[in-house]
A = this chain, B = another copy of it.
């Protein structure tokens, strides 16, 4: 058994109105940031999962996404799976 870090990004489906994104866009503009294009807001869900292999972890995570973590009617999701190894560095 190993532990995997799962990151799920859930985003509004293209074409659907994203009122949050609209409001943020508007706010950024009035704060004087030029050149901002469309803004879309989604969720990011981090969790860890024990599994025998990365493939298994991915499969289980994918099922979770379809069943619970995303709403297929309004959202798409992206999944990232990595073996746990302390903190990820990114930026």
Interface string of A3-31 (1 = CB under 8 A from B): 10000010100000000010011011001
Residues of chain B within 8 A of A27, CB atoms compared: 68
B11:A68 contact, CB within 8 angstroms: no
Cβ distance A76 to chain B, nearest Cβ, rounded Å: 11
Residues of chain B within 8 A of A90, CB atoms compared: 78, 80
Q: How many residues on chain A are close to B (CB under 8 Å)?
A: 39
CA distance A84 to B45 in the complex (A): 25
| From B21, B25, B48, B64, contact of A37 by CB (8 A) | B48
B35:A51 contact, CB within 8 angstroms: yes
User: A residues engaging B (CB < 8 A)?
Assistant: 1, 3, 9, 11, 21, 24-25, 27-28, 31, 33-51, 60, 64, 67-69, 78-80, 90-91
